[in-house]
Amino acid sequence: MKNKKWKLLLFICSLCISSGCTQKQNLEKHSMTATNLGFDTVISFTAYTKNEKEFKKYENELSKQISYYNKIFDRYNSYEGINNIKTINDNAGKKPVEVNEDIIDLLTISKEYAELTNGKFDITLGSVMDLWREAREQAEKNPDNTFVPSMEDLENAKEHSGWDKVQIDKEKNTVYLTDPKTRLDVGAIAKGYAIDKTSQHLKELGVEHGFLNGGGNIRLLGNKPDDSNWVVGVQIPDLTQQATDSISSLSLPGNTSIVTSGDYQRFYVYDGTIMHHIIDPETLQPARYARSVSIVCDDGTASDILSTALFTMSQEDGQALLDKINKEKDIHASALWVYDKNTLPKHLENSYKNQEYTISYSPSLKEKIVK
């Protein structure tokens, strides 16, 4: 996918893990970290295996899986012999594109969650996202000459969004964008989907104790070797802090996913205001509620989707949405919100202060908080 600066990539990792534990007999801890596998982020993998040779087998499979998902979900680059999201966008208004089942699956899930979230999660807003991306890239090139897209341009771009413009034929495995200016942007789901699927594959191959971290999209693979929970830290929402600094920690069992969305990951400053990359589909502007939202869930794809959706709404509305989706989907999703003094709501239940921030959380997380 489109290259970003290395300095930025380091801080996309919005969560950190404490993995110290008593190992089972004959199990060794092995880790790897890579910056070139895909999704413009750091991919790290830790597992307890019998030996390094066994770990290398898992590492090689992980690299293949992430590379594969990166290519098919890429909207900026073409690859020989592969029809991907870019291929679909390039053929908007021209013809249906035959794609593989993973793309059909991802788009089907995306459409379902667009309905469940009342449009707060919408991958058809690619034309809107392109305008903001252009502004952010211009700011990276020339910080002294920044701009924001005009509301007229944003509203015109939004006219080309909507699932009524996306035709999915599951029998023929084709996708057709009927509007020539409609663009798909799967950035709010692709990484979570890839991490989830890759983790499932690693478990099938034999990984029993470990975790996979794709730039803050974390999937826990079984419990620790001593059968205890993992401790996952939520990063302080400040790019001046080290990526391993955490503002709160959660004790979580294996086979759990946790994903964080925040305003401190990809942004530029315009007239003294942070213009970050999480755009509210209603206002077409960067969302202004919490500093970050973390989703803890059984389903890694849902975690990625919901962390973005909840970031674009109030905590009250976000919790109501979780309650609704948990009932309909049975995915056991909970949220943790981080606020500072500039964004702190007047009334918060299940909350506590930590340094300059206030942390609030779903009732179901209360017993999992490690302050």
Those residues whose C-beta lies under 8 Å from the C-beta of residue 205, and which sit 6 or more positions away, are 57, 58, 61
pLDDT level of residue 4 (50, 70, 90 thresholds): very low
Per-residue pLDDT at 13: 36
pLDDT at 21 over 80: no
pLDDT (tens digit per residue) in 53-81:
999 999 999 999 999 999 999 999 999 99
Per-residue pLDDT at 239: 63
Per-residue pLDDT at 19: 52
Q: How far apart are CA 201 and CA 143, in angstroms?
A: 43
Per-residue pLDDT at 243: 52
Q: Which of 153-162, 175-184, 302-311, 339-348 shows the lowest per-residue confidence on average (mean pLDDT)?
A: 339-348
pLDDT at 2 over 60: no
Per-residue pLDDT at 351: 85
Count Cα atoms within 13 angstroms, Cβ side, for 92. 19
Per-residue pLDDT at 1: 46
Residues 66 and 38: beta-carbon distance below 8 Å: yes
Per-residue pLDDT at 315: 95
Structure tokens at 66: 């992430």
Residues 291 and 339: beta-carbon distance below 8 Å: yes
